[in-house]
Structure 1
Amino acid sequence: MDEDNEGKKRRRSDSKKKGSFISTILEWLITIVAALIISFLINKFLIFKVYIPSESMYPTLKVKDQLFVTKMYGRDSIQRGDILVFFSDEFNELLIKRVIGLPGDDIVVKASGEVLVNGEVLEETYVVQKDETAIFDLEFKVPEDKYFFLGDNRANSLDSRYWSEPYIDFEDIRGEARIIIYPFNRIRILK
């Protein structure tokens, strides 16, 4: 009789252990699935990460920098000087440049490398190396709902000055670069 009771107790104990193990596995599984769903939603609607492959935005951004970019939802939030990520139909890839021309702006890129927006010289402390190789001034009139972009490293940037279609539609703008997250010695908020 005691052996029967001992056997029943052992079976109940084993059953509780199995139930506890399965419960723990389910809790972990639910946590992992929830984290993946939240991560997907954040990436889809709030922020995403980009990698810098070229020197076109040097010294602001360096090759191999990794950035967090916030999604762009409103035209009103775009200001001249913002560093934006956008899709280029011409190159069939995401690019990152600084917005210089807003809808309706008149842009002149002088042969000396100086940039005028609506007749006024644009103060560009972020440009270290101007492109002074042009033979003549380049003039652009930014259409409605479109934007004009230049790289900070003007002497080494394939940007609106050279594209077959120099303007980017608002719908192609994916977001604004906000923070360098890697390498760790370069972590900082972008301005």
Structure 2
Amino acid sequence: MAKAKKSEGGLMETVKTVVYALLIAGIFRTLFFQPFWIPSGSMKDTLLIGDFLFVNKMAYGYSRYSCPFAICPIPGRLFFSEPERGDIVVFRHPVNGSDFIKRLIGLPGDKVQVKNGILFINGQEVPQVPDGQFEEVFEPQGPMGNLPRCANAPVGEGGTCISYRFRETLPPTERHPEGISHDVLNIEDAGSPSADNTDVFTVPEGQYFFMGDNRDNSMDSRFSQAVGGVGFVPKEYLIGRADRVIFSSAGRSMLYFWTWRPDRFFLKVE
């Protein structure tokens, strides 16, 4: 009898330990950092498929989407801090509920347009400087097995896939008075008319305009939500800012250690 009670007590202690661990993990994930895997190539070459990072959830305050399954009863945002142009942001898609990661391009009140593949903000051209080529192997990438798009297509599997790289410098911000400089990729000069040549988007109050760094391979705010794009993103859908890659694997599983990218471990993203 005593042995049975001892076993029951040990089981209860194990259950309590697991519950406490889950509560602590849930609080940590809700208030501080959320893990995020890069599933697609829309942010190349800043972020690669298989990069693993922690999203800083303290950066912009908290909303219902800060909690798993959006269960927090938070109206609007608490402790809100305005994001800066150039931040790499994880946000909840307003329609399909997926988590996206893109670069913040347009702040409330900004006028954003793309003409012949060149970004204009408030009527001013955002300068781009040619910066060589981005090369990768043409092969299935990540758990989803996506094939990259190539400027030199067609490319046979195992061949070298090329994109043209440019260095773009965004207008200055309070945190970056010189403006954030970052890579953008171009795959084709005559890209999708709606991607390379857009109307003028005026960003509404309380909303934001996002773009992927892989400009010809990103469904972002240039595209409406009705066609699978992002459109304007209200501030309550912001989850946090991506600051640093913690781990990176080029394979279909993080267990494939021979596909790890040690040069990207703890890499600062900008």
Letter in 2 for 1:161: R
Within the candidate set 35, 40, 55, 1:69 is matched to 55
Count of aligned pairs: 174
Within the candidate set 87, 100, 120, 2:92 is matched to 87
The root-mean-square deviation of aligned C-alpha atoms, in Å, is: 2.8
Cα distance change of structure 1 residues 54 and 177 upon mapping to structure 2, 3 Å threshold = same
Q: Deviations over 1:1-45 (max 9, x none)?
A: xxxxxxxxxxxxxxxxxxxxxx99998877665443322210111
The separation in 2 between residues aligned to 1:66 and 1:97, in whole angstroms, is 15
The separation in 2 between residues aligned to 1:61 and 1:94, in whole angstroms, is 15
The separation in 2 between residues aligned to 1:38 and 1:26, in whole angstroms, is 18
- Structure with greater Cα Rg: 1
Letter in 1 for 2:224: W
Matched, 1:178 2:164: no
Within the candidate set 43, 47, 52, 1:57 is matched to 43
For residue 155 of structure 1, what is the aligned residue in structure 2? 216
**2:182 counterpart SS class:** coil
Q: Deviations over 1:69-95 (max 9, x none)?
A: 011315534000001011113333111
Matched, 1:129 2:208: no
The separation in 1 between residues aligned to 2:185 and 2:202, in whole angstroms, is 25
For residue 204 of structure 2, what is the aligned residue in structure 1? 143
Matched, 1:190 2:194: no
Matched, 1:169 2:248: no
Report the CA distance between 1:120 and its aligned residue: 2.0
Cα distance change of structure 1 residues 75 and 34 upon mapping to structure 2, 3 Å threshold = closer
The separation in 2 between residues aligned to 1:57 and 1:96, in whole angstroms, is 8
Cα distance change of structure 1 residues 76 and 43 upon mapping to structure 2, 3 Å threshold = closer
- Identity level (%): 36
For residue 97 of structure 1, what is the aligned residue in structure 2? 102
Q: Which runs of 5+ in 1 are unaligned?
A: 1-22
The separation in 2 between residues aligned to 1:26 and 1:92, in whole angstroms, is 37
TM-score normalised per structure 1: 0.77
**2:92 counterpart SS class:** strand
Cα distance change of structure 1 residues 141 and 75 upon mapping to structure 2, 3 Å threshold = farther
Cα distance change of structure 1 residues 38 and 58 upon mapping to structure 2, 3 Å threshold = same
Cα distance change of structure 1 residues 136 and 32 upon mapping to structure 2, 3 Å threshold = closer
TM-score normalised per structure 2: 0.56
